[in-house]
């Protein structure tokens, strides 16, 4: 999973899978879900992210992960 923030457009994209999306559904204003050809959720796009989510803090709890920090 990857979280990508684009400050020029104030959008946050959460990649849940490496599969390409084939369908997008807007579930609320500025929140779009991307699905692959099999109907699986592969990404979440949040427009005006700084007004909808807390971008300054990320808490990970009990995830079996390998953490990669890439500074912009």
- The secondary structure of 29-71 as a DSSP string is TTEEEEE-TTS-EEEEEEETHHHHS-TT-----S---------
Question: Which tokens in the block code for residue 39?
Answer: 């109907």
Mean pLDDT rounded to a whole number for the chain? 91
Which carries the bigger pLDDT value, residue 51 or residue 72? Answer: 51
Extents of the domains making up the chain: 2-50
The predicted pLDDT at position 18 comes to 92
pLDDT band at 67 (very low <50, low <70, confident <90, very high): confident
Q: In this predicted model, what pLDDT tens digit does every residue of 5-45 receive, in sequence order?
A: 999 999 999 999 999 999 999 999 999 999 999 999 999 99
The predicted pLDDT at position 31 comes to 98
Which carries the bigger pLDDT value, residue 65 or residue 48? Answer: 48
The predicted pLDDT at position 72 comes to 60
């Amino acid at each position: 999973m990857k979280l990508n923030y684009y400050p020029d457009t104030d959008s946050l994209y959460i990649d849940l899978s490496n599969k390409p999306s084939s369908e997008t559904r807007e579930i609320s204003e500025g929140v779009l879900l991307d699905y692959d050809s099999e109907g699986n959720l592969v990404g979440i796009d949040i427009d005006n992210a700084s007004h909808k989510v807390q971008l300054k803090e990320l808490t990970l709890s009990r995830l079996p992960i390998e953490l990669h920090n890439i500074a912009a």
